[in-house]
Structure 1
Amino acid sequence: MSVERNNHRTAIAFSAIAVIVALVAAFATTFERVGTRKVDNETPPGTMGLAKPHAPLDRAPDQPISGH
């Protein structure tokens, strides 16, 4: 009976060590990819936003769409 308890303790200890190693590895790889750049709301000079300009419409907004 003592041998079975010792085997269970050994298995639990190895499992706990494996979980701890996996958590440390996940923690290290997560923080390796995190950028430490400063974020602010100011845009660089000369930028007007992320959208690209669209071509002008062929009609006024209140005119109906005409079929060709």
Structure 2
Amino acid sequence: MSNERDSHRTAVVLFAVVVIIAILAAFVTTLERIDTRTASNETPPDATGLAKSRAPLDGASGQPVLGN
């Protein structure tokens, strides 16, 4: 009976070691892919925003635009 317990315990310990090694390997490979650059709040020169300017409307809102 004690031999069965020892073999079961050995299998569980080996499985735990394999799982820990797999978790460590996944952690290390994840850390290699992390970008460590930091963001900056400073805007580059000549940057006024992300929106593109549009041509002004000829009339008020809801009024049809008269063609030439």
* TM tier, smaller: 0.5 to 0.7
- Percent identical pairs in the alignment equals 45
CA distance 1:12–1:50, change in 2 (3 Å): farther
Supply the distance in 1 between the matched residues of 2:58 and 2:22 (Cα, whole angstroms): 62
TM-score by length of 2: 0.67
**Whose Rg is larger?**
2
Letter matched to residue 11 of structure 1: A
2:36 equivalent in structure 1? 36
What TM-score, normalized to structure 1? 0.67
Separation in structure 1 between the aligned mates of residue 58 and residue 10 of structure 2, nearest angstrom: 79
Q: CA deviation at 1:24?
A: 0.6
Residue in structure 2 matching 1:64, options 55, 62, 65: 62
Q: How many residues align?
A: 64
State the structure with bigger RCO (CA 8 A, min sep 6), 1 or 2: 2
**Aligned-pair RMSD on alpha carbons?**
2.3
